[in-house]
Amino acid sequence: MTDNAVIVQGLSKKYQLGVLRAAHGRLGETLWAALTDPLGRKRGEQETEDFWALRDVSFEVPRGSVVGVVGPNGAGKSTLLKILSRITEPTSGRAELHGRVGALLEVGTGFHPELSGRENVLLSGAILGMKRAEILRKFDEIVAFADIGQFIDTPVKRYSSGMKVRLGFAVAAHLEPEVLFIDEVLAVGDLAFQEKCLGKMGEVAKDGRTVIFVSHNMGAITTLCPMSLWLQGGKVMGFGASSEIVPQYVRAFGRDMTTGEVVIEADGRREAQISRVRILSSDGEVTPVGECSNSTTIEMLLDVRRHLPGLYAYMEVRRPDGTVVLMSDSLDTTPNPLDDLPVGMNVITSTIPSRTLAPGKYDVYISLACHTGRDFDVHVPGIVASFRLHDYQSSRGDARPGFFSTLLQWQATELSGGGK
Amino acid sequence: MVVSDSPQEATDPRQELDRTVVIIGARNPWRDLGLSELWSHRELMFFFVWRDLKVRYRQTVFGALWAVMQPVLLMLVFTMSVGRLPGVGPAGVPYPLFAFAGLVPWTLFGSSLGAASNSLVNAEGIITKVYFPRLLVPISACGSYIVDFCVSMVVLALMMLYFGVTPSLAVVWLPLFTIFALVTALGVGIWLAAINVRYRDVKYVTAFMIQAWMFASPVIYTSSLIPKEWQWLYALNPMTGVLNGFRWALMGGPMPDQTILVSVAASLLVLATSLVYFRRTEQTFADVI
């Protein structure tokens, strides 16, 4: 006996690009075409161009799993969600959903700008599939989550975009479907709110509900989704544990900033340049996702075109909001290993020791400069890579705030002479 | 592998709660009309109506009074123009009252039809983002005009009081003729709404069509002006039946004869075909809207 919440079998979706254009045309044109060419011979040839947004997609999601859907733009991720949430129908194939279904493809679905926040909570909740009694029961919770205070009776058209997003997500977060589809909604809102949304999603996942989550944020996928589906060109490239699928996907798209490997275009005019940056885990794997308890190595491939005495590399590790958490340059090591490198390709590595950075997302800023009295920039590629660290070792895990993940020694000594 | 389609087999008590199974596939276009699903979403329908009402009269000083303004102004215009011609209205009924008793149900019909035919296009934002029975959209678009209609009916009642016209027992038929007007508006509105998704020309056609339709219906003149041998053809316009019946229920006069059955049949035929057409095309709405 199976216990799958979502069963997808051979799902395909075809769009006809030419006809889609014609469909938006005027009635007269169509009538004219129908009159002059009743059999549609010409139209059939010149106007239809089939585009398969999804092609023979099959997979099964066990009840209570959280599955991330990854893939480049145009891979069919959104089409898949639209079919599963019944907004559009597949051309062929079928899917079975077991349980109450909810979809969250947009923040603030159904909001009307003229209505107040209070009225929009009711309206959006109803459109998303909540019963009136259910919305009223959760109303205070929703307003508290949105954190918009006294503006609840103000028309939404006067809200800031941030407030609108918060209110929209608050409604959506209180949906209680058994099967939930979510499309890249976490890409909006400020950092603090994003974290709050991720936290809420984590809660949803722990509740034993089935979630299918589309995102370009590999950090969110690896944090929230034990399983991943990799779509590309409308086809399934891989389906399984995120720990396997995400690195595979990430390797296939090396140019992506969040993938752990970035190739920089060669510029022959430079005396030296960084041509590739990779983030390596302690066992040498290229990955943008690491662990606090392991070291993280930033590896640069440096193309030196002439002798440069006094060359050094400068690196900052920043939080996404721009705060510099760690700065280091190659002068930290004596003698400077970059001083007067041989012409050709050189591999430069710098390793952040284990238990240095707190769990979270980091950007790596790099520049190359010469330090020979005449200080000058050789190559400033800027923020070239990003990585995320998770803490699986300490009891506090990813919830550890602050800048460091250093585990401090704690001691307890009985005070001698005390207690007499 | 056998997929459990029958949740009764479930042993885990948790599963007792979620028996819903949704099957997605390229469905049979001649499938059922989905009326039970419509019924289960009735709350959402009321939310749509409530939203329309809230939005329509927000930031207006006179609010729902505007609902009455349109038929009242039209009545004044027609009383001073067409109403002066002999034989336009029936004998024994003051022309202003006669015209208003036609304009009130006509406004319900015309506004509902206009709103329904543009409803899907206006709901593009939610149609492409969330699932619900699409039929809710044109149906609920008519809903808010029922409230406007009720406000106008109060004015009509006051006018009857002023002119000293008392309704007979026939007034019990009034709700039926109101529903008849709505069914007609829905039938045509659902057709137009579905076509409008693909061809935006409908928007312009609708506005013109409603105006022309008004003069083809006994709104500001009595249907007895039409020669007897053409009455059956005239009755093919369902609004003929609606308006004659509506006036009869309120103010007496000649009882509708069997030609009203032609009107009813025409109206129901349009509604039935519109539902079939709507169901056949709705799966592509999100793709072409």
Domain assignments of chain A as residue spans, ordered by start = 4-252, 257-399
Contacts A129 to B, Cβ<8 Å: 130, 132
Question: Among all residues of chain B, which has the CA nearest to that of A123?
Answer: B47
**What angle, 0 to 180 degrees and rounded to 10, lies between the N-to-C axes of helices B42-56 and B136-163?**
60
Asked if A233 reaches chain B (Cβ–Cβ under 8 Å), the answer is no
- Min Cα distance A312 → chain B (Å) is 52
Supply the pLDDT for residue A109: 86
Q: Which of A3, A82, A87 to mutate to test the interface with B (most CBs of B within 10 A)?
A: A87
Section A320-337 average pLDDT: 88
pLDDT digits (tens, 9 = 90+) for B211-220: 999 999 999 9
Q: Which CATH class is domain A4-252?
A: alpha beta
Asked if B47 reaches chain A (Cβ–Cβ under 8 Å), the answer is yes
CB A291 within 8 A of CB A392: yes
- Give a yes or no: residue B289 inside a domain: no
Contact between B47 and A114 using a beta-carbon 8 Å cutoff: no
- Give a yes or no: residue B16 inside a domain: no
Q: What is the mean pLDDT of chain B?
A: 87
pLDDT digits (tens, 9 = 90+) for B248-275: 999 887 788 888 899 999 999 999 999 9
Q: What is the mean pLDDT of chain A?
A: 82
- Give a yes or no: residue B20 inside a domain: no
Q: What percent of chain A has pLDDT over 70?
A: 83
**What angle, 0 to 180 degrees and rounded to 10, lies between the N-to-C axes of helices B65-80 and B136-163?**
60
pLDDT digits (tens, 9 = 90+) for B24-38: 876 665 667 778 888
> Which residue range is the domain that position B56 belongs to?
32-278
Pairing label, strands A227-232, A50-62? unpaired
Torsion angle in degrees (nearest 10) through CA of A318, A323, A329, A333: -90
- Give a yes or no: residue B44 inside a domain: yes
State the CB neighbour count (10 A cutoff) for residue B28: 7
Q: Which of A19-28, A60-69, A96-105, A402-411 has the lowest mean pLDDT?
A: A19-28
**Measured distance CA(B113)–CA(B116) in Å, rounded:** 5
Q: How confident is the model at residue A418 (pLDDT cuts 50, 70, 90)?
A: low
Does the pLDDT at position A86 exceed 60? yes
Does the pLDDT at position A138 exceed 80? yes
pLDDT digits (tens, 9 = 90+) for A190-214: 656 666 776 777 777 777 788 898 8
Supply the pLDDT for residue B252: 84
| Total number of domains in chain B | 1
Contacts B284 to A, Cβ<8 Å: 88-89
- Give a yes or no: residue B268 inside a domain: yes
Contact between A110 and B125 using a beta-carbon 8 Å cutoff: yes
Contact between A109 and B201 using a beta-carbon 8 Å cutoff: no
Instruction: Give the residue among A386, A363, A384 at the shortest CA–CA distance from A274.
Output: A384
Does the pLDDT at position A255 exceed 60? no
Cβ neighbours for B228, distance < 8 A, ≥ 6 positions apart: none
Asked if B31 reaches chain A (Cβ–Cβ under 8 Å), the answer is no
Supply the pLDDT for residue A44: 44
Supply the pLDDT for residue A373: 59
Q: Which of residues 191-210 of B touch A (CB under 8 A)?
A: 198-202
Question: Among all residues of chain B, which has the CA nearest to that of A105?
Answer: B129
3-state secondary structure chain B: CCCCCCHHHCCCHHHHHCCCEEEEECCCCCCCCCHHHHHHCHHHHHHHHHHHHHHHCCCCCCCCHHHHHHHHHHHHHHHHCHHHCCCCCCCCCCHHHHHHHHHHHHHHHHHHHHHHHHHHHHCHHHHCCCCCCCCHHHHHHHHHHHHHHHHHHHHHHHHHHHHCCCCCHHHHHHHHHHHHHHHHHHHHHHHHHHHHHHCCHHHHHHHHHHHHHHHCCCCCCCHHHCCHHHHHHHCCCHHHHHHHHHHHHHHCCCCCCCHHHHHHHHHHHHHHHHHHHHHHHHHHHHHHC
Supply the pLDDT for residue A201: 72
Supply the pLDDT for residue A36: 62
- Return the CATH fold of A257-399: Coagulation Factor XIII; Chain A, domain 1 (2.70.50)
Contacts A91 to B, Cβ<8 Å: 26
**What angle, 0 to 180 degrees and rounded to 10, lies between the N-to-C axes of helices B259-281 and B238-251?**
130
**Burial call B69-84: b when 16+ CB within 10 Å, e when fewer:** ebbbebbeebbeeebe
Q: One fold for both A4-252 and A257-399?
A: no
- Give a yes or no: residue B239 inside a domain: yes
Q: What percent of chain A has pLDDT over 90?
A: 28
Nearest by CB to residue A88, choosing from B4, B12, B286, is B286
Residue B153, token pair as written in the block: 């009916």
- Min Cα distance A118 → chain B (Å) is 12
Supply the pLDDT for residue B102: 95
- Give a yes or no: residue B54 inside a domain: yes
Q: Which of A228-237, A295-304, B20-29, B162-171 has the lowest mean pLDDT?
A: B20-29
Q: Which of A11, A127, A158 to mutate to test the interface with B (most CBs of B within 10 A)?
A: A127
- Give a yes or no: residue B10 inside a domain: no
